[in-house]
Amino acid sequence: MFYKRSSELFKQAQEVIPGGVNSPVRAFKSVGGTPIFASKAKGAYVIDEDGNRFIDYISSWGPMILGHAHPKVVEAISKVAKNGTSFGMPTLLETKLAKLALSMVPNMDKIRFVNSGTEACMSAIRLARGFTKRDKIIKFSGCYHGHSDSFLIEAGSGVVTFGTPNSPGVTEGTAKDTLIAPYNNISFVKTIFKENPGQIAAIIIEPIAGNMGCVVPNSGFLEGLRKLCDINDSLLIFDEVMTGFRLSKGGAQEVLGINADIVTYGKVIGGGLPVGAFASRNEIMNELSPNGSVYQAGTLSGNPLAMIAGYTTLNELNENNEVYKSLDDKSSYLGIEMNKILESEKIDFQINKFGSMISLHFCSEPVIDFESSMKGNNNKFKKYFHGMLSEGIYLPPSPFESYFLNDALSYNDIDFTLEALKKVSKSL
């Protein structure tokens, strides 16, 4: 593979865009090398600016669950675009997507659309704080809820203490209201509740974590959080920006059989256009302006192109009863076969998988939280990533991200990927 044009384009981009990218993970910093500039994509494949073709395992970090440039989605967007692309007035499309989304997920009465997962999570905690009239939230190390200040917090020193900012520009004042717990550690969360009586507005969590690789909750963990929230009159927020409409029609709430009080969405719900959303029951959503006093707004929220892309994608997922099973089957096949290949090379590795989310860490201990996810061998990961890339397989350029399979991927594509892994694993 040659990346001549990508290298040139990256240089040009760096002159006018910080680091040459508009979102850091795209810069390949954790794997080294030059990011590949995409020029087009169709189905399971992405073509870069040099004309190289890759089998795509990130699906734009999730949204392209049906595959790239799905004909129905493209046609629907083009049709709507001809009638104007933004009005700053309500449109029928917003109600259509709201009705469809609410009919697919359990336990939610109303939904508000925003433009990204970050906005959805930021608004969800404001709403939770407004509703409960409390300030503090509990977040888990290694879970990502977008880049708003309240979430860019890491655990402070000491056993149970306030969080501290993990980015310059986030104030101590903000950090003190975010309390950090390790994923899968219910007793730690209990202690936080005990030490902050009557002060916790909400727990926010990725019900299946996807931002430290894929990490699955231990049995009883989420049930335990649900119980703690009920006992303490706190709200449970599921961040389903990744899992919503990906694990099943009803997302993690449905698959795991646990109801959250507020759920955030993003990625798949926009079908490849910028959409986020948060949903809850009437009692809570009625606190939101213009009905209630918790403020939240957006000039481009509910944008018609974004709504039709989301609507067409969800409609396809809703009507095609095979799609989730087919995604699960393909992911299982990939996971099982990867396992066999890596085992035969006697490499230390962990494959975590839930539905169509998979991740691979090069370490010997199970990956169950952020601490264990950090133990992966990064040099091995770099070799693996670049090896697979040169075989034409585009994987997430960081061990802390999950693969997101899309339904355009064929068994031939997966077999091709496994052949590549056979070659690459010999050099690990």
With CB under 6 A as the contact rule, the residue among 6, 59, 118, 232 that binds ligand PLP is 118
Q: Which two tokens stand for residue 364?
A: 């010997």
Q: Are 323 and 407 in contact (CB under 8 A)?
A: yes
Residue 268 interacts with ligand PLP (CB under 6 A): yes or no: no
Residue 369 interacts with ligand PLP (CB under 6 A): yes or no: no
Concatenate the DSSP letters of all residues of 153-166 into one string: EEE-SSSS-BEEES
Q: For 217, which DSSP code?
A: P
Reference 181, options 169, 168, 69, 200; nearest CA is 200
- The amino acid at residue 76 is A
With CB under 6 A as the contact rule, the residue among 266, 376, 387, 399 that binds ligand PLP is 266
User: Rounded to the nearest whole angstrom, what is the least distance from the CB of residue 238 to ligand PLP in the complex?
Assistant: 10
Instruction: Provide the annotated active-site residues.
Output: 144, 239, 267
Q: Are 271 and 73 in contact (CB under 8 A)?
A: yes
140-159 residues in contact with ligand PLP (CB under 6 A) are 144-146
With CB under 6 A as the contact rule, the residue among 56, 94, 177, 239 that binds ligand PLP is 239
What would the x/- binding string for ligand PLP be over residues 276 to 295, using CB under 6 A?
x-------------------
Reference 105, options 277, 229, 322, 283; nearest CA is 277
Residue 116 interacts with ligand PLP (CB under 6 A): yes or no: yes
Question: Which residue of this chain has its Cβ atom nearest to ligand PLP in the complex?
Answer: 117
CA distance 289 to 387: 51
Sign of CA dihedral 364, 366, 369, 373: positive
Stretch that binds ligand PLP, among 42-50, 139-147, 176-184, 212-220 (CB under 6 A): 139-147
Stretch that binds ligand PLP, among 96-104, 204-212, 306-314, 341-349 (CB under 6 A): 204-212
CA distance 189 to 224: 9
Nearer to ligand PLP, 242 or 388 (CB): 242
Residue 401 interacts with ligand PLP (CB under 6 A): yes or no: no
Strands 200-205 and 136-140, by their bridges, are parallel
Positions that interact with ligand PLP (CB under 6 A): 116-118, 121, 144-146, 206, 210-211, 239, 241-242, 266, 276
